[in-house]
Structures are given as C-alpha cells and as structure tokens.
Amino acid sequence: MNEDVYELPEGTEYRYLVQDEGEEQIQYVRRHYVNPLLVLSRKCIILITCIVVALLTLAGYLAYVAKSSPPEETEVETECGWLRGRLKDGAYSFKGIPYAEPPVGKRRWRPPEDLVEAGACWKDMYDATRFRSVCAQVQPMRKNGKVMGQEDCLHLSVWTPSLHPVEPLPVMVWIHGGYLHMLSGQESGYCPTEELAHHTQMVYVSLNYRLNAFGFMALEVLREGSHTNTSGNYGFMDQIQALKWVQRNIHHFGGDARKVTIFGQSSGGTSVWTLMMSPLAKGLFHCAIDMSGSYVYNASLESAETDNLEFLTRTGCKDAICLRRLSISQVLQQYPSWAGDDLLDLPVKGTFAGPVAIVDGYVLQAPPFEIWENHGTYNDVPFLVGTTEQEADFHPPYENISTWTWGDYQWFVKKKLSTFGENMTNQALKLYDSSAPCPTSDRCPERLYTTMISDIRVTCPNHDLAKRAAASKLLQLVPLPQPLLLPSSRQPGLLQRSRNYSWDPLTS
C-alpha cells in the first residue's frame, strides 16, 4: 500500500488520512506531512521543468537555426557575370557554372559555343550554390538502363580555399571517368570537395562534358556543313572549352592560370591523353595526371562514321535536321552501346569495342600513343601515369559473384579467355590461382577474378606503356612514393619526363 500512495491521484490522499490506522497511519501521516511540500515542490518542479523545457527548446531552436542557416555566402565576378557561391568547411564552392552555350537544338552535335562570343552572358546574380543537371546518359550502361540527365549540362564547379590568396594557388582540373558514357563532374565521392581544397590549399575545378551519343557521335551527315569538316569528339571539345574558361576566369577564384594540372581517372585518364595530344588544347594546362586511362584508340573518322550508320538506320533519319529533332531518349536508345557493358569483365576475343573516342583529324591528328612515340606536336608537360587499385571492383560483373566457388571462378575464366586459345587460359589460371594472396577471409574467388580483370584491362596496359615509354626515353621510370591522390596503386610505376618524382611540378 505504501507503494501505492505515490501512485494515487492527489484527490484521494485525504481519504487515506482518515481511514488508515496504527503504524500504517504514522507512516502515512509522516508522508502526509511531507506531501504538502511534495505537492508544493511538484508545482515548483512542474514550473521549473516548464522553464527548463522552454529554455532547452529555445537553445535547441537557436542551435538548429545556427546549423541550418545558409553557410556564409559570397559573390565573385567572372567574365560572364556575377556568381553567388558559399563558404563551408574552410573553402568556397561555386557550383554549376555554365561554360558554353547549352548544346541543344541546332547546337546538338556541334563544337561548344563560347558564352561571351555568343553574347549569352547573364545580367543578374547567378546562383552557383547548387549543381545543375548531369549530361544525358543511360545508367546502368545496359539496354534496360535508365535514361537520365539533360543535354543542357555544360557546367563546371570550382572549389577554392581562398578568393584572395597572397600568392595565386595551383589549379587542379578534374575530368571524371565513366567510359565517356556516363557519370559527371559532380558525383558525390567522385568529385572534389571543400575539404580537399582546404586540406591541399589548391583550387579545384570539375566539369561536365557531353557523353556517349551526344558527346561522340561520328556521322557523315553531321560532318557535312560543319566548319571543322569533322564529326564526333564533341565531349573532348567541351573539355577544351572548359580549360579555356579556366584560363580566363580562374584568377577570380584565387587560382593561378599558369599552374593548371589536369587529372582524370578511367575515361577521364583517356581524356587527359587526348588533351595532351590535341593541338586545340595547347597551352591550356601545365601538368597532367592519368589514372587508369587508355592511350590506345585509333578508330578513324571514316570508319566511325561507317559504324555509326547503324544508328542512323535505327532512327530512320536521313539528315542532320531530322537527327537534331530526336528526343534524348530516342537518341540514347538507338545508339549502339559501343563501349560495351562487358568492360568490367574479362575480354572476349573479337568483341567489337567501337568508335567512341576517335582520331578525327581535328581534335586529334593521329592515335595518341603514336603521336607521343613520334615526338609529334603535343602538350609537352610533366606527366604522371598510374592506376587505381582494383579498378574493376566498383561494379560486379555478375550478380552472384560474391558466392562463387573456385570451380565457378575457373569456369568463368575459361569461358572468357578460351576465345584467345587454351594457352592463354592455362597461363591465366596458373598466374591467378587459389593460392594467390587474398586480403579477406571470404569472397576470394571474386577478388581474384576482379583482380584479373583490373590487370588485363588497366594495370598491365599501363605498365606496358610505362616500359615502352621508358625504353624510348620519353619518360623516366622512377619508383612511386606514397600516392597522394590515388586511393592506392598496385602498379608502383611512376613516370615523369626527365625529372624525378615529386609534387613540385604540380605546385611550382
């Protein structure tokens, strides 16, 4: 019962007072004696609680307001008008800045047009506090993939630790990968950040460029009447246009236009190769870093135009006017997926890897490595080559690969590589057998399979490049110290033209 007292509603206490007797009563009386105070203090407590709750609420609200209020905003004037960006985590960001006329309508499949020259600058403050649309693409890169993005996508973003540094800061221009078919310069986890700019005290630029059909369609009907007398490689021209923007504008963001490094991964690395070899990009950058790029592509304009006739047939179009009227989905769905969806798997002999990046005679005069070996005209800048570790690990080639046994592993290796002959399969299985080091206790067959893919597709070709370049004295092969920007490198080969490795060339 004693326990019950506290449980009872206030109105019943008096009843207990008169009814209870003996020890119980004394106890109760004592309680009763205490109770008025308790009741009083309860009121106080309620009052105090109310005040505390009110204060806490107020404090919480203030904290919330402080946290959710927009970060400090800032404004910068560029050649094309004012931008509003913001300061966060020790660096300013300016996102979604247009660097060319939107390549839509009659501008589809034409070189990018300069905003200033086109008289297309803006008068009001441009809101550069958010990213704009990614370029039109299909994700995942399969027949049943989803069409996403817009053609109006030629935007770049800038992250800078200081708008008015004592000395202008080095500039790093990031070129994203994705087979020249997908992704963007604004992928979370795959683009620069405020933290990176703050930590390295450099200015970062990341850009979108036209992709797949919109970025790389080579067709005779598109070449005819073009002032370059070429077609295709529009995505590369966009990159060059963005580099021109950097030259003319980066000083507004604290950057030094004389210290520009381009760096890209996968097809971003392929882009770096193209820019190094392109006369159109001459003088627009001063250092280059290729991560996991490809330097081997040699499809000619004519052969690409012929291959892409398949696209023209599928659309039912006869001329460029008709082609430029197609919707984004029509274009992307009729475009043969030349880059293939098997690039994350072991190769199969004879699989057609078709014309995406091409030797068009305008952006590129000859296959990149050929230009390089022949000491042709290109941007002779300090150059760093490497690969990311486990390149093929970002998307599993098979849904069930994580459950593979060693038997499954061998079956798939044989299935793919036997197209190159039995010797190749046997050698591969001997080099990559179940005794290979595995950093985890499970999924080792999966790990070894994707290691083999990474090596065949990326690591070995880059190693081969390094050796060939070193042999022809184009590069000096020196050991790679701890990689800085790359997540890690399984291929410790670092190349640089007649200089020892250091990050000096990037910053000096």
Can you give the length of the chain in residues?
508
Nearer to ligand NAG, 142 or 499 (CB): 499
Three-state DSSP at 506 gives helix
- Return the number of the residue (5 or 478) whose C-beta is nearest ligand NAG: 478
Q: How far is the CB of 111 from ligand NAG (least distance, A)?
A: 15
Angstrom distance (rounded) from CA 331 to CA 289: 33
Q: 398, 420, 432, 503: which one contacts ligand NAG (CB under 6 A)?
A: 398
Q: How far is the CB of 405 from ligand NAG (least distance, A)?
A: 8
Least distance (Å) from ligand NAG to the CB of residue 501? 8
Of 288, 285, 258, residue with least CA distance to 270: 288
Q: What is the DSSP letter of 338?
A: T
Between 156 and 358, CB nearer to ligand NAG = 358
Q: Which of residues 84-113 bind ligand NAG (CB under 6 A)?
A: none
* Size, binding site for ligand NAG by CB under 6 A: 10
Asked whether the beta carbons of 229 and 223 are under 8 A apart, the reply is yes
Q: Does 2 bind ligand NAG (CB under 6 A)?
A: no
For the CB of residue 366, give the shortest distance to ligand NAG in the complex, in Å.
9
Q: Which of 408, 420, 429, 444 binds ligand NAG (CB under 6 A)?
A: 408
d(CA 260, CA 172): 6
Considering the complex, what minimum distance in angstroms separates the CB of residue 149 from ligand NAG?
A: 28
For ligand NAG, the binding residues in 141-160 under the rule CB under 6 A are none
What does the block give as tokens for 261? 């490094």
Q: How would DSSP label each residue in 344-400?
A: TS---TT-----SS-B-SSS-SS-HHHHHHTT-SS----EEEE--TTGGGGS-SSTT
Quote the least distance from Cβ 234 to ligand NAG, whole Å: 17
Q: Do residues 234 and 274 make contact, with C-beta atoms less than 8 angstroms apart?
A: no
In whole angstroms, the minimum distance from the beta carbon of 238 to ligand NAG comes to: 22
Residue selected from 12, 19, 229, 434 as contacting ligand NAG according to rule CB under 6 A: 229
Of 298 and 333, CB closest to ligand NAG: 298
Angle (CA) 484-160-188 rounded to 5° is: 65
277 Cβ partners below 8 Å, 6+ apart?
364, 365, 366, 368, 371, 372, 376, 378, 379
Q: Considering the complex, state which of residue 171 and residue 358 has its C-beta at the smaller distance from ligand NAG.
A: 358
Residue among 25, 133, 247, 300 that touches ligand NAG (CB under 6 A): 300
Using the minimum distance from each CB to ligand NAG, give the nearer residue, 175 or 364: 364
Whole-angstrom Cα distance, residue 199 to residue 337?
40
Closest approach of ligand NAG to the CB of residue 227, in Å: 10
Return the number of the residue (200 or 233) whose C-beta is nearest ligand NAG.
233
C-alpha R_g of the chain: 32
User: Is 351 an interacting residue with respect to ligand NAG (CB under 6 A)?
Assistant: no
Residue with token string 């486990």: 390
**Of 198 and 457, CB closest to ligand NAG:** 457
Which CB atom, from 298 or from 365, has the smaller least distance to ligand NAG? 298
Residue 500 binding ligand NAG, by CB under 6 A: yes
Minimum CB separation of residue 477 from ligand NAG in Å reads: 12
The answer to whether the CB of 445 falls within 8 A of the CB of 410 is: no
Question: In whole angstroms, what is the distance from residue 17 CA to residue 250 CA?
Answer: 85
Residue 298 sits in the site that holds ligand NAG (CB under 6 A): yes
Binding of residue 400 to ligand NAG (CB under 6 A): yes
Among 2, 423, 441, 482, binds ligand NAG (CB under 6 A): 423
For residue 455, the 8-state DSSP code is: I
Q: Figure out which of the listed residues 15, 199, 258, 499 binds ligand NAG, where binding follows CB under 6 A.
A: 499
What is the rounded distance in angstroms from the CA atom of residue 154 to the CA atom of residue 151?
8
User: Which tokens sit at 251?
Assistant: 């000083």
Alpha carbon of residue 481 to chain centroid: 25
Which residue number, 201 or 298, has a Cβ lying nearer to ligand NAG?
298
Q: Which of 389/408 has CB closer to ligand NAG?
A: 408
Cα distance between residue 208 and residue 77, in whole Å: 21
Residues at the site binding ligand NAG, with contacts judged by CB under 6 A: 229, 298, 300, 398, 400, 408, 421, 423, 499-500
